[in-house]
């Protein structure tokens, strides 16, 4: 009986070690959905997807190596091989979500304040999932989503037209966190 309870205790600790990073990834992903963040150029150009997929491939090798070293890895049948083939893509998606969520946190903690004057365009797009009044332009072309939310009162003042805006926030090597949008007027 004593060995069984010790085995269950080790299993619970192992479950927590597995679940803690999963919840951390989910927390970062959810935080990233509700912040305005523009990633730096290396994460948005052609090299961005290559870097993220490389991280997914490296994590796949680490997971498979860990399973093989413990003797728990067993790949039997076509479904298991399909899972192994899809694992780099899923881990790449998780790492992208973590970067999307960690970017604003890193910028807020270690970044320097910035003031960026740029030209953007106010738009109205009916959306049930996000804001209806948006600012689009080259300043946020590399971000996801490709817009910043705009106050409806500001949109009513300047509907569907180019605007001069100032983006205030913090900037780090990973990107720009937009804390406040100041609209200067029509362009």
**pLDDT for 11-37, tens place per residue?**
566 667 777 877 887 888 788 777 888
Is the pLDDT confidence value at 187 over 80?
no
Q: Are 100 and 30 in contact (CB under 8 A)?
A: no
What is the model's pTM? 0.68
Q: Say what the pLDDT of residue 87 is.
A: 83
C-alpha distance from residue 3 to each of 8, 9, 10, 125, 164 (Å): 9, 10, 11, 62, 70
Average pLDDT for 46-53: 80
Q: Give the start-to-end residue ranges of the domains of the chain.
A: 2-109, 113-186
Most trustworthy range by pLDDT among 51-55, 99-103, 108-112: 108-112
Per the model's pLDDT, the better-predicted residue between 11 and 74 turns out to be 74
Query: What sign results for the dihedral spanned by CA atoms 86, 88, 89, 91?
Result: positive
- The average confidence (pLDDT) of the chain is 81
């Amino acid at each position: 009986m004593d060995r069984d309870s010790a085995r269950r205790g080790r299993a619970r600790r192992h479950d927590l070690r597995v679940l803690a990073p999963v919840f951390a990834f989910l927390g970062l992903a959810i935080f990233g959905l509700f912040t305005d963040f523009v990633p730096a150029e290396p994460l948005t150009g052609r090299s961005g997807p290559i870097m993220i997929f490389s991280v997914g491939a490296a994590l796949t090798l680490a997971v498979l190596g860990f399973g093989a070293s413990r003797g728990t890895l067993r790949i039997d049948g076509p479904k298991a091989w399909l899972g192994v083939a899809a694992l780099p893509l899923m881990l790449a998606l998780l790492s992208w979500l973590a970067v999307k969520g960690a970017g604003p946190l890193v910028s807020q903690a270690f970044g320097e304040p910035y003031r960026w004057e740029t030209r953007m365009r106010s738009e109205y797009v009916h959306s049930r999932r996000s804001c209806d009044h948006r600012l689009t332009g080259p300043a946020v072309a590399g971000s996801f989503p490709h817009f910043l939310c705009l106050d409806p009162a500001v949109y009513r003042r300047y509907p569907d037209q180019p605007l001069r805006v100032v983006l205030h926030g913090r900037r780090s090597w990973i990107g720009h966190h937009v804390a406040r949008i100041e609209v200067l007027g029509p362009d």
